[in-house]
Amino acid sequence: MSGRGCLGILLVGMFIVGCKDKAEAKFREAEAAQKGGKLIEAVSLYQQATQADPTSRLGKQAAERVAELGPLAEKEQKRIDEENEKRRAAEAAARPPVEANKIQCVRARAIDDVCEGEGRLGFTCTGGSSDEVEDEFASCDRIAGGRFCCRADASETPILNHAKKR
């Protein structure tokens, strides 16, 4: 082969190597996702492949697959969203409702040191006025801002969701 022929083959080879399809990496990832049953992910990767090189062979194939699989992926996403909404609704229904007529008190260990005397515990209460809490729990004394000190041995020591007396 002449020097000129070798140079021509070398130039063609360099041109082919230099023209690597920029969509190929994302296209291959999309194929793997599709084979793995991850349709939504596959469509997203095919879209990325199309954006990477829209005029290349794989870029055009990726655009075709987006057109073909896109509606199926949208249906799948809608199904997933509906399942998630049903799950959230079931979780919300399983939670006990917070009733407006309940005084809610929780232990507040941070204010125990403010409570004078042995056997007195700190509580933070909401859901009623300070007067209502004191009426409900005779063993409790108001400190400030919904905070109370209560005798630990009293039968009416505050507990969570204690119903107000009506």
One domain, residues 88 and 128: no
Question: Residue 81: what pLDDT?
Answer: 86
One domain, residues 106 and 159: yes
Mean pLDDT of the chain: 78
One domain, residues 72 and 42: yes
pLDDT tens-digit map of 47-80: 999 999 999 999 999 999 999 999 999 999 899 8
Both ends of the chain: CA-CA distance in Å?
A: 107
Threshold 0.85, pTM exceeds: no
Does residue 16 fall inside a structural domain?
no
Cα–Cα distance, 162 to 92 (Å, whole number): 21
Largest CA distance in the chain: 110
Tokens standing for 150?
């209560």
Specify the number of domains making up the chain: 2
Cα–Cα distance, 13 to 16 (Å, whole number): 5
pLDDT at 123 over 70: yes
